[in-house]
Chains A and B, each alone.
Chain A
């Protein structure tokens, strides 16, 4: 596939920005500035960058608990995101959702979700609405390997296939569901094996290769947009950190971790860009600096933002306050 240089640089920019954002979030969490639970997507940046490059602003996206990267790549305002993680009034969700429930309906982001597997049916419903309204928009549903074992997976994929809905189901297989390695929670070798059960395409692809992620997703998005129904994609990657910040992840094999760290999607793509002369080191450095500046600004914005007024506790419960 012939991908424009602009797009290639955009992949890199997204990946480094997400990396910087997520690293900073972990530091801020450790420093006590971010409350609650934080699930870091460090190591999984290529999936966010590659997938989100395939969709338009009006396309709908259902996310999960480890989805800061996808939010950023879909175009969410990082200032507001960071403020949300702090619980500030200026946050994406006025500080009421936090990391696990961050959402932005203006960007078609139907939310991270604290309930694993809740996203399948919601994204299926979004795809249904796109089909119903004949908008040509599509829906994406992202999820982890562990939550592929929840029952709504089956119900949703069956319905999506039956109704030929414009949706792409995307599994971020990062090796674990909390402490459970994939081979101990999944009966088949791959999550994508299940596509056969619904008569839809299913593939497993290297999720640390941003170009492979992009090309695979683009094909599935194209299929969905043309009215040919859903696909099930599985991108293999590795969760660098523990399940949540503060989890020492003693259940990980040290050597396996080492090996995966060597497959870091960012330097790997940088090398490609340089070798194929699509970017110079100066350009890469510039993108790194830009990412840092954006994240610095986001942290400053969050720190300087006010806390919500306590009256906010009672707003938004119903569409009109009772």
Chain B
């Protein structure tokens, strides 16, 4: 175990795989000597050289698109898109190409690529640099979507994402980059599709990921002081989704609150609600609640942005409303 930040853990995951497999390389804007816009790839250029850590021009379509071609020929690219908001500039390469190649080719193709990209609000970066868009990707059959909420998961999921033979969206959160935690050394793999109970409890289940996992854990502490014992479940990957773990937790607690930073309408909370309504209706003794951002773009002014982001208070309020 080593204490490290979420950012160092992402990097460590990439490093472990780059050492193990010479087909793994990183391509993106300013990822080389500069170390990436947020510093996530810092040092990797020095360690692995210009052939494995490559700056690209500002050309998102080719960052993701070339990864599709290279992956189809057996390489394992890690394509960095500087902000998840820029995925609109390379969406065809993901949703019509990477995602469908294997299927359309009757199984005769493999696209083992990772798109690494940060999401999230709270930096005053406004409407085009602050979004959470995970349900864009979960809506594409053929793509996996990974959203680590702790340092250890950041590493373990990165290794699993690189080893996976499918296109994987690996979405890290800007607010978590500095979060530290104990991270297992070496080849630590967190399998895709396996949820983790981050806090055990018996009264209510909160399902939350990424930054909202941390907010939910903090809210759970406060609720414990008021006598409400919250179970916090982190799905860690949205596709594949560990349905069984969610249903099992709800069968124990009888109550479900889903927390996400995406806007509410068509957010992934709707999907989880539907699954529990379809397959776990009998477990519920209260309506399912969703805490999510409002259906607006993200405003620049800090006072408006703070109102936009789902807060600990809103989570606490939603939980209490069930009792």
Residues of B within 8 A of A96 (CB): 126-127, 299-301, 304
Binds B, one of A127-135, A167-175, A203-211, A307-315: A307-315
In the complex the two chains form, is A146's CB within 8 Å of B58's CB?
A: yes
Which of these, A101, A116, A184, contacts B300 with CB under 8 Å?
A101
Q: Is residue B57 contacting chain A, with contact meaning CB distance below 8 A?
A: yes
Q: Is residue B128 contacting chain A, with contact meaning CB distance below 8 A?
A: yes
With A178-B34, A312-B304 known as contacts, the answer to whether A114 contacts B299 (CB < 8 A) is no
Q: How many chain B residues touch the partner (CB < 8 A)?
A: 34
Residues of A within 8 A of B300 (CB): 35-36, 84, 87, 93, 95-98, 101
Residues of B within 8 A of A97 (CB): 126-127, 300
Which of these, A36, A89, A151, contacts B59 with CB under 8 Å?
A151
In the bound complex, how far is the Cα of B61 from the Cα of A96, in angstroms?
29
> In the assembled complex, how far is the CB of residue B300 from the closest CB belonging to chain A, in whole angstroms?
3
With A179-B30, A180-B30 known as contacts, the answer to whether A98 contacts B58 (CB < 8 A) is no
Residues of A within 8 A of B61 (CB): 150-151
In the complex the two chains form, is A101's CB within 8 Å of B126's CB?
A: yes
In the complex the two chains form, is A180's CB within 8 Å of B124's CB?
A: no
In the bound complex, how far is the Cα of B58 from the Cα of A179, in angstroms?
11
Q: Mask for A294-305, Cβ within 8 A of B = 1, else 0?
A: 000000000000
Which of these, A87, A185, A317, contacts B124 with CB under 8 Å?
A87
List residues of A (18-72) whose CB comes within 8 Å of B's CBs. Answer: 35-37
In the complex the two chains form, is B58's CB within 8 Å of A101's CB?
A: no
Q: Is residue A227 contacting chain B, with contact meaning CB distance below 8 A?
A: no
Most buried by B among A35, A186, A317: A35
With A87-B302, A307-B301, A307-B303 known as contacts, the answer to whether A317 contacts B58 (CB < 8 A) is no
In the bound complex, how far is the Cα of B172 from the Cα of A259, in angstroms?
40
Q: Is residue B224 contacting chain A, with contact meaning CB distance below 8 A?
A: no
Closest-by-CB residue of A relative to B86 is A115
Residues of A within 8 A of B304 (CB): 87, 95-96, 308, 310, 312-313
> In the assembled complex, how far is the CB of residue A292 from the closest CB belonging to chain B, in whole angstroms?
27
Closest-by-CB residue of A relative to B300 is A98
> In the assembled complex, how far is the CB of residue B92 from the closest CB belonging to chain A, in whole angstroms?
10
In the bound complex, how far is the Cα of B129 from the Cα of A35, in angstroms?
14
In the complex the two chains form, is B128's CB within 8 Å of A180's CB?
A: no
List residues of B (270-323) whose CB comes within 8 Å of A's CBs. Answer: 294-297, 299-304, 307-308
Give the interface size bracket for A toward B: 35 or more
Q: Mask for A124-147, Cβ within 8 A of B = 1, else 0?
A: 000000000000000000000011
With A115-B86, A151-B61, A317-B296 known as contacts, the answer to whether A98 contacts B34 (CB < 8 A) is no
In the bound complex, how far is the Cα of B78 from the Cα of A70, in angstroms?
37
In the bound complex, how far is the Cα of B58 from the Cα of A184, in angstroms?
11
In the complex the two chains form, is A313's CB within 8 Å of B307's CB?
A: yes
Q: Is residue A201 contacting chain B, with contact meaning CB distance below 8 A?
A: no
Q: Mask for B125-168, Cβ within 8 A of A = 1, else 0?
A: 11111000000000000000000000000000000000000000
List residues of B (147-203) whose CB comes within 8 Å of A's CBs. Answer: none
With A116-B58, A149-B57 known as contacts, the answer to whether A100 contacts B295 (CB < 8 A) is no
Q: Is residue A225 contacting chain B, with contact meaning CB distance below 8 A?
A: no
Q: Is residue A74 contacting chain B, with contact meaning CB distance below 8 A?
A: no
Which of these, A37, A88, A91, A146, contacts B129 with CB under 8 Å?
A37
Q: Is residue B218 contacting chain A, with contact meaning CB distance below 8 A?
A: no
Q: Is residue A163 contacting chain B, with contact meaning CB distance below 8 A?
A: no
In the bound complex, how far is the Cα of B59 from the Cα of A84, in angstroms?
30
Residues of A within 8 A of B33 (CB): 179, 251
In the complex the two chains form, is A150's CB within 8 Å of B301's CB?
A: no
Q: Is residue B123 contacting chain A, with contact meaning CB distance below 8 A?
A: yes
Q: Is residue A177 contacting chain B, with contact meaning CB distance below 8 A?
A: yes
In the bound complex, how far is the Cα of B125 from the Cα of A35, in angstroms?
8
In the bound complex, how far is the Cα of B129 from the Cα of A177, in angstroms?
18
Which of these, A37, A180, A314, contacts B294 with CB under 8 Å?
A314
List residues of A (209-261) whose CB comes within 8 Å of B's CBs. Answer: 251
Q: Is residue B73 contacting chain A, with contact meaning CB distance below 8 A?
A: no
Residues of A within 8 A of B85 (CB): 114-115
In the complex the two chains form, is B124's CB within 8 Å of A35's CB?
A: yes
In the complex the two chains form, is B30's CB within 8 Å of A88's CB?
A: no
Closest-by-CB residue of A relative to B56 is A185
Closest-by-CB residue of B relative to A144 is B58
Residues of A within 8 A of B37 (CB): 178
Which of these, A95, A116, A251, contacts B299 with CB under 8 Å?
A95
Most buried by B among A89, A113, A150: A150
In the complex the two chains form, is A184's CB within 8 Å of B55's CB?
A: yes
Contacts beyond the supplied A96-B300, A150-B61: 13 A-B pairs with Cβ under 8 Å: A37-B129, A84-B300, A89-B301, A95-B300, A95-B304, A96-B127, A97-B126, A97-B127, A149-B57, A179-B55, A180-B29, A313-B307, A313-B308
In the A-B complex, list the 9 residue pairs whose CB atoms are closest, starting with the nearest: A98-B300, A36-B124, A87-B301, A114-B128, A35-B124, A95-B301, A179-B34, A149-B57, A185-B57
Sample of 15 A–B contacts (CB below 8 Å): A36-B123, A36-B300, A93-B300, A96-B127, A96-B304, A98-B124, A101-B127, A113-B128, A115-B85, A146-B57, A149-B57, A151-B61, A180-B30, A308-B299, A310-B304
